[in-house]
């Protein structure tokens, strides 16, 4: 079977639909680095973020929120890449 190509228009439409689904779920708590601080950001609480000096403290707090809400914990690296995902769904 030929593997689907990202450039195929049908595949593109399917991916766009999936992207919208992922976006609509809003079930993740992110740990994000910015200007020497680590921020915890809940996709369900726009505009509210908690700031930490160290990454471990931010992860611990975010993990607690994700566990309580049955969300995913998404930890980003300093370059913004996704380093670690833990699901509590």
Partner 1 sequence: MPPRPDGFDRNVFINCPFDSEYLPLARALAFTVLACGFRPRVATERSDSGEVRVEKIRELIQSSRLSIHDLSRMEPLRTDELPRFNMPFELGLDLGCRHWGGAHLKRKQCLILDRERYRFQRALSDISGSDIRAHSNDPEQLVQQVRSWLRVVSKEALPAAGRLWERLSIFRSHLEIMLGREGFSAREAEALEMTEYIDFVDTWMRTAEDPTR
Residues forming the site for partner 1 (CB under 8 A): 4, 6-7, 11-12, 14-16, 18-20, 22-23, 26, 28, 30, 32-35, 39, 41, 43, 46-47, 49, 74, 76, 78-82, 85
Residue 60 C-beta: closest distance to partner 1, Å: 19
Rounded CA gap, 27 and 23, in Å? Answer: 9
Residue 66 C-beta: closest distance to partner 1, Å: 13
Q: For partner 1, which is the closer residue by CB, 56 or 85?
A: 85
- Sign of the alpha-carbon torsion through 8, 14, 20, 22: negative
In 3D, which of 22, 26, 24, 31 has the Cα closest to residue 85? 31
Q: For partner 1, which is the closer residue by CB, 18 or 68?
A: 18
Residue 68 C-beta: closest distance to partner 1, Å: 18
In 3D, which of 86, 83, 75, 89 has the Cα closest to residue 39? 75
Rounded CA gap, 87 and 48, in Å? Answer: 21
């Amino acid at each position: 079977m030929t593997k689907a190509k990202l450039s195929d228009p049908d595949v593109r439409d399917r991916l766009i639909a999936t992207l919208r689904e992922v976006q609509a779920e809003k079930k993740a708590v992110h740990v994000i680095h910015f200007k020497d601080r680590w921020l915890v950001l809940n996709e369900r609480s726009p505009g509210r973020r908690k700031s930490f000096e160290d990454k471990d403290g931010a992860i611990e707090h975010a993990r607690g929120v994700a566990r309580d809400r049955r969300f995913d914990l998404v930890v980003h690296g300093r370059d913004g890449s996704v380093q670690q995902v833990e699901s509590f769904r």
